[in-house]
Structure 1
Amino acid sequence: MANMQRPIKVLMLPWLAHGHISPYLELAKRLSTRNFHVYFCSTPVNLSSIKPKISEKYSSCVELVELHLPSLPDLPPHYHTTKGLPPHLMNTLKVAFDMASPGFSDIVKSLGPDLLIHDFLQPWAAEVAKSHGLPSVVFFSVGAGTLSFMFHMIKNTSIEFPFKAIRLHDYEQAKLTDMIDDSTGSVSNKDRCLQCVERSSNFILLKTFRELDGKYMDYLSSLLGKIVVPVGPLVEVPSNIEDGDGIIEWLDEREESSTIFVSFGTEYFLNEKEREEIAYGLELSNVNFIWVIRFPVGESIELEEALPEGFFGRVRDRGLVIDGWAPQGMILEHPSIGGFVSHCGWSSIMESMKSGVPIIAIPMQFDQPLNARMVKDVGVGLEVKRNKNGELERSEIAKVIKDVVVEKDGDG
């Protein structure tokens, strides 16, 4: 009889970043196997990139719904995503997203869902839901350690965070404070978060699991006065449609655990100095590597120009440098991979842990320094220390790579 019940209709609205859209889509897939029909709402440019990831198994229960942002002079439709977005346009994108509220209201009215699951940057989504008599829940695609640290900062500025493993250096603290206080359309990120939590039904959803994050979940619950519900690591299953044959063949020729994968996510673009130090660090380590480098959309730089002179010649027998994209899930699952040089986005950490690959942490922005401390604390990797000015140094990069891959210090 249970199978005869009407499916529960859920509308999902993630922030317009791949690192948010991907876990929302994975949650949608899991819900669809439990008598939920999911309407997945985002901009056309984002939906076109995830459409191939919805296999026939899910296509009848996960329905894509286009949200059209207003056309702003600096923000044509191909910029209605953070992927490849020039950093100076980030606030413009947030403004355009806020301006899509009336269109989203029309979507809610026409679909008549039973529940809205939304991200933490758009409190207006919960207000729209409320105006239609629709309950809403906020889903944070980050871990409880990081989130509890941030809310502790917001609510208890003068009291020390109770878990000593998670700490920030002064230069990181200043950046995080600036990010939390940063305003778009007169509303700070801090207030956006607080409003989303306040308007969420009596619980919030988190991309984590209790075995990893239990003590932080309990502290976060006490801070927010909400039940914290973990929905699991939500790691995407590598797809056969991903084009990585040449890369996998290259890895097949390497010894087991002899190679590192280097990637800094879809939204961080290394500056010239960072590229240089990482390149020389890889060279000094004498370890095999696959390095994915990304540039903002519209910025055309040849890889040979972007990296130190002669670099390709010196590492050609043991290094593969890729411009733009590589099948991360497939690469991390390969037996030749012995380490992951990562920016420590939460999804990348979950993926690396699932694949049993130790992490060489080089956090860059946002929540990543906090995630990097978690990586070290739970014993799944080591962090590259920066100098007193917060800069990367090639010798330290090489040292940590060798510690993890050659000495296996990060193998847990």
Structure 2
Amino acid sequence: MDTKQKRIRVLMFPWLAHGHISPFLELAKKLANRNLYVYFCSTAVNLDSIKPKVSPNHSLSIQFIELKLPLLPQLPSYYQTTKGLPPHLLNTLVKAVDMSRDGFATILKTLDPDLFIYDLLQPWAPTLASSLNIPAILFYTASVAAASFTFHGLKNLKREEFPFPEFYINDCFMPTKSSRNEFGRTPPVSSSKERIPQCFEHSSDIILVKSFRELEGKYMGYLSILLNKKIVPTGPLVRDASEEHHENEKEILEWLTKKRKASTVFVSFGSEYYLSNKEREAIAGGLSLVR
């Protein structure tokens, strides 16, 4: 018998962005270290970019599965990822992923994994898994504090204050009455307003989060109450230092060691957005005002 048949088999399906794929891949490595067999599903262009990041040892326990998207005139194969994707084609990419539903159903039926771990923007994926009696678990890779704040607003009909006052949104960013009404309408196919809550709700009993209790423990507890699901942190999930070969790494670490404790702010806009010089100056100016 094939050795993988004796092990717990997990199918992972991240959204087609490297900021999502990277933590999914690191989690896959952790699962492989625990003697689980992982099927990692994405488009060919994404799989080609991450295969070099998998060691020969991990490659024995991680199998890449290609998701074939329908051929659309405006979405050639090299655009079947968010990397380098023109912003106006994002809706088209989401549509193409939705159109791959039948193909993904075939993957699920063929592999018949013991567990399915999915991402935020494909709410139909856990539904397919559940129809095949395959437990489906959401792996949430963004801020747990932001998720708890969002679901507080969605579920708190009495409009009570968010219990953690250090997390708030300035009035200028608060939705107006008209925008709240708009929120309640049926969103377009690519809208995350409906997809994201559905993905949380469809998760079987637990939700994995890329965080740790020392940082976001209270938000995990509150999110667990709001969703009636157990929140399980995976830790930060960064690549092993032995796998990294950044030329400027030493320079950055030397710069950090000269700074006072808690004096440096890390600002990130995701893996696919690059600030212009003007935007960087505006962010720096804004941060200097809140010191």
Conserved 8 A contact 1:18-1:83? yes
Is the CA contact 1:181–1:189 (under 8 Å) kept in the aligned structure 2?
A: no
Find the counterpart in structure 2 of residue 74 from structure 1.
Answer: 74
1:132 corresponds to 2:137: no
* Partner residue, 2:95: 95
Aligned residue for 1:69, secondary structure, equals coil
The aligned residue for residue 194 of structure 1 is 197
- 1:168 is aligned with what amino acid? I
Structure with more relative contact order (C-alpha pairs < 8 Å, separation 6 or more)? 2
145 and 255 in structure 1: CA distance in 2 versus 1, 3 angstrom threshold: closer
Aligned partner (choices 274, 281, 285) of residue 269 of structure 1: 274
Q: In structure 2, do the counterparts of structure 1 residues 27 and 88 end up closer, same or farther at CA, with 3 Å as the change threshold? A: same
Q: Alignment partner for residue 209 of structure 1, among 208, 212, 216?
A: 212
Distance 2:74 2:186 in 1: 20
Structure 2 SS opposite 1:46 = helix
Q: Secondary structure at the match of 1:82?
A: coil
Correspondent of 1:229 among 222, 229, 232: 232
Cα contact 1:154–1:190 (8 A) shared by 2: no
C-alpha separation in 2, matches of 1:260 and 1:168: 19
Q: Distance in 2 between matches of 1:260 and 1:198?
A: 33
Query: What is the distance in 2 between the residues matched to 1:20 and 1:229?
Result: 18
After TM superposition, list the pairs within 5 Å mapping 1:134-173 onto structure 2.
134-156=134-156, 158-173=159-174
Q: Which residues of structure 2 form unaligned runs of 5+?
A: none
Question: What corresponds to 2:54 in structure 1?
Answer: 54
Equivalent of residue 183 in structure 1, options 180, 187, 198? 187
- Describe the shift of the 1:263–1:70 C-alpha distance in structure 2 as closer, same or farther (beyond 3 A): same
Q: Is the 8 A contact 1:180 1:188 kept in 2?
A: no
Q: 2: CA distance between counterparts of 1:152 and 1:252?
A: 38
SS, match of residue 6 in structure 2: coil
- State the aligned residue count: 281
- Note the C-alpha offset of 1:264: 4.5
Secondary structure at the residue paired with 1:40? Answer: strand
Could you say which structure has the higher strand fraction? 1
Shift in Å, 1:263: 6.7
2:258 maps to what in 1?
257
Alignment of 1:207-356 (within 5 A): 207-238=210-241, 240=243, 242=245, 244-245=246-247, 247=248, 257=258, 264-271=269-276, 275-276=277-278, 278=280, 281=281
Q: Quickly say closer, same or farther: Cα 1:23–1:248, change in 2 above 3 A.
A: closer
Q: CA deviation at 1:174?
A: 4.6
One-letter code aligned to 1:198:
E
Tell me, what secondary structure is at the counterpart of 1:267?
coil
Amino acid at match of 1:270: L
Distance in 2 (alpha carbons) for counterparts of 1:76 and 1:4: 34
What fraction of aligned residue pairs are identical, expressed as a percent?
A: 48
Code of the residue aligned with 1:167 in structure 2: it is: Y
Q: Answer with 76-85 or 188-197: which moved more.
A: 188-197
Match of 1:37 in 2: 37
Letter in 1 for 2:167: I
Alpha-carbon displacement from aligned partner over 1:233-267 (angstroms, at most 9, x marks no partner): 1122245464x44x458769979537999874422
Distance 2:183 2:140 in 1: 17
Q: 1:207 to 1:106 in 2, by over 3 A?
A: same
Q: Secondary structure at the match of 2:85?
A: coil
1:168, 1:261 → 2: CA distance? 19
Instruction: Find the structure with the greater CA-based Rg.
Output: 1
Give the alignment's TM-score, normalised by structure 1. Answer: 0.61
Rounded to whole Å, the distance in 1 between the matches of 2:275 and 2:106 is 40
Task: Quote the offset at 1:145 in angstroms.
Answer: 1.1
* Distance in 2 of aligned mates of 1:255 and 1:224: 39
TM-score (norm 2): 0.84
Q: Alignment partner of 1:183: what SS?
A: coil
**One-letter amino acid of the structure 2 residue matched with residue 153 of structure 1:** G
